[in-house]
Amino acid sequence: MIINSLCRAQQTFYHREGITLPEKIESKPTPDDSRDGWLTFYGLSPRRTNTLIESAKRFTLVMNQFQIAGKDQLLAVSHDEKKKLHKFAYSLIASASPSDSVRQAFVAAGLCGNTPPQEDFEAEMIIAGTELALKNAHPIVIMRTMTAFLGFSVFDLVEKWLIENFNSDKNEDEELIIPGDLPDIVPGKNTSPGSISQAVRLAGPQLMAATLAGCPGQTIEYIKSLAYTPLGQILIDWDIRNARSKFSSEELTDAQNAFIELLTSFRTEPNPDMGSEAEEWLMDVDEGLVSDISNLILELDEHVLKSVVSAMNPKLAASLIQAMEPIAHDRLFSCIASSKSKKILDALENSVPLSNNELTRRAQIFAQKILSEIAPRNKTLGKSLPLPAKLRQLLTSILSRE
C-alpha cells in the first residue's frame, strides 16, 4: 500500500528540526489550469526549478554513460566534477555501495540532513538518483524519480528531453525469433486492446520483456502501440535488449507461454462487472438450450456420438461447445480422435460468440445428424424410431425450438 511508502518518505522529509507539516490546503483546480494545478511544499521559483532540472539532466546523462562505458568512464567524470553532491554520488556508484546506505553516507559526509528540506532539495534528488543507479535502473526511471520532487509542472518538459536523448538505440536492435504462438494470437479478433493492456500490466516489465524478446518485430510493435507511450516504448525496448542477452531461448519460450496463459485467461473468465461483449453474451445465453445440448451429449450412445462428431464440420462442433456444460465437453472430446479434437479446438479458438438464434439453428442441425445416424437404413415410413424416452424428449425439445 502507498501508505507504507508515504510513512518512509514522511520520515525522510519532515523529521527534521523546525519543519512543520504542510498547512491545510483545499485546492480545487479549475479546468484551465488543472493539469498544472499541483502545489508543492517547497514552492520553488522557476529559476531554481530550472537549475534543479539541469542538475538532474546532468546526473542522468552521466548514469547513461556509466551503464554503457563502465566504471572507468564514471571515475573520469567524477575527477572533473566540481559540484560536491554529484562528485560524492559518483564515487558511491563507482564503489558499488549498497543502495540502502546511500542516505546515511550523504549524512555522514555532511551533504544532507543539517538544513531544512527546502535547502536540502538538490541533495534529496541526488540521493534518490544514486539509490536507483546502484540498483541498475534505466536513466529514464532515474530522471523521472529525481524530477518528481519538482511536481507535475515539469512532467512534459522532462518527457520531451528524455525522448530526445534516449530514442537512438532502436534501429540497432536485431530481431530474434524463437518458436512461440504469440504472433499467431495477436493481433486477433479474440484479443481486445483492453485485454492485451491488462495482461501487459499483470505480467510486469520483466516478464513482458522476456515475452517480446523472441517475437517478430511486427508483434512487438503491435503490443507496444497498445500498451505504452513513446517513452514507455523506449524503456521496454531496453528491457527486451537485456532479456535477449540474459535469457536462453527456452526461457524466452517459457515467458511467452506464461504471457499467453495470462492473456487467454481474460477470454475464458470474463469479469462479471465489466459489461463486455463476452459478459453480455454469457448473460444472454439460453440456459435451457445449454442444458438440452449437454444432456444430449451425455445420453447418447458412445458409438453414435463418435460417428456423428467425427463426420461433423469442426466449426459446427466448435459453435456447439459454446453452449455446452464442461462435463459434456469432456465426453465429446473423449469420444473422438486427437486429430479431430485439435481441429475442433482450432475452430473454437477462432470462433466468435453466437446469438441464441444461431446457436439454436446449429443445435437443430446437430439433432438432425443424430437422428440420421440412429435411423436404420431401411426404415419403414410411418414407424417411429426406437429411441430411449430421455433421448427422444431432448431431441424433441431442441428441434421444436423456434
Partner 1 sequence: MILWNAELTKRLACSDKEKAALPAIVQELLAISDKTRNEGILPLASADLPLADQSKPDRSKIDQSPMLYYGFRLIAEGLSTEALEGILAIYLSTSAYSGFEFLKQCMYVEALLSIAAGDSRELLLRKLVPYCGAEKAYSLLKALDAENNPKAL
Q: Which residues from 264-293 bind partner 1, rule CB under 8 A?
A: 271-276
When asked if residue 235 is in the footprint of partner 1 (CB under 8 A), the reply is: yes
Stretch that binds partner 1, among 51-59, 87-95, 205-213, 305-313 (CB under 8 A): 205-213
When asked if residue 145 is in the footprint of partner 1 (CB under 8 A), the reply is: yes
Stretch that binds partner 1, among 22-30, 102-110, 211-219, 375-383 (CB under 8 A): 22-30
Q: How far is the CB of 25 from partner 1 (least distance, A)?
A: 5
Residue among 101, 136, 218, 229 that touches partner 1 (CB under 8 A): 229
Instruction: Say how far apart CA 79 and CA 87 lie, in whole Å.
Output: 8
Q: How far is the CB of 109 from partner 1 (least distance, A)?
A: 22
Q: State the CB neighbour count (10 A cutoff) for residue 167.
A: 13
200-206-207 Cα angle (round to 5): 55
Q: Which residue, 19 or 399, is less far from partner 1 as judged by CB? A: 19
Among positions 109-138, residues that touch partner 1 (CB under 8 A) are 128, 132, 137
Phi and psi torsions of 175, nearest 5°: -75, 140
Q: Which residue, 228 or 333, is less far from partner 1 as judged by CB? A: 228
Residue among 16, 17, 32, 303 that touches partner 1 (CB under 8 A): 32
Stretch that binds partner 1, among 24-32, 80-88, 310-318, 353-361 (CB under 8 A): 24-32
Instruction: Say how far apart CA 167 and CA 238 lie, in whole Å.
Output: 10
When asked if residue 40 is in the footprint of partner 1 (CB under 8 A), the reply is: yes
Report whether 213 contacts 242 (CB < 8 A): no
Cα–Cα distances in angstroms (integers) from residue 116 to residues 70, 83, 123, 338, in the given order: 35, 20, 11, 73
Q: How far is the CB of 30 from partner 1 (least distance, A)?
A: 9
Q: How far is the CB of 204 from partner 1 (least distance, A)?
A: 7
Instruction: Say how far apart CA 332 and CA 158 lie, in whole Å.
Output: 59
Count the residues of the shown chain that bind partner 1, applying the rule CB under 8 A: 78
Instruction: Say how far apart CA 95 and CA 266 lie, in whole Å.
Output: 46
Residue among 198, 264, 295, 341 that touches partner 1 (CB under 8 A): 198
Among positions 163-192, residues that touch partner 1 (CB under 8 A) are 192
Cα–Cα distances in angstroms (integers) from residue 136 to residues 63, 372, 374, in the given order: 9, 70, 70
Q: How far is the CB of 148 from partner 1 (least distance, A)?
A: 4
Q: Which residue, 23 or 80, is less far from partner 1 as judged by CB? A: 23
Residue among 85, 112, 123, 200 that touches partner 1 (CB under 8 A): 200
- Indicate the length of the chain as a whole number: 402
Q: Which residue, 129 or 314, is less far from partner 1 as judged by CB? A: 129
In single-letter form, the type of residue at position 296 comes to L
User: DSSP string covering 358-392, please?
Assistant: HHHHHHHHHHHHHHHHHS-TTPPTTPPP---HHHH
Residue among 64, 67, 94, 155 that touches partner 1 (CB under 8 A): 155
Torsion over CA: 13, 15, 16, 20 (sign): positive
Among positions 41-80, residues that touch partner 1 (CB under 8 A) are 41-43
When asked if residue 24 is in the footprint of partner 1 (CB under 8 A), the reply is: yes
Stretch that binds partner 1, among 40-48, 249-257, 290-298, 350-358 (CB under 8 A): 40-48
Residue that is written with C-alpha cell 530522471 in the block: 143
Q: Which residue, 23 or 174, is less far from partner 1 as judged by CB? A: 23
When asked if residue 199 is in the footprint of partner 1 (CB under 8 A), the reply is: yes
Helix, coil or strand: residue 37? coil
When asked if residue 27 is in the footprint of partner 1 (CB under 8 A), the reply is: yes
Q: Environment class of residue 184 by beta-carbon count within 10 Å: exposed (0-12), middle (13-18) or buried (19+)?
A: exposed
Stretch that binds partner 1, among 98-106, 225-233, 249-257, 354-362 (CB under 8 A): 225-233
Cα–Cα distances in angstroms (integers) from residue 343 to residues 184, 191, 315, 336, 340, in the given order: 16, 20, 9, 11, 5
**Which residues, other chains included, contact 95 with Cβ-Cβ below 8 Å and sequence gap of 6+?**
none
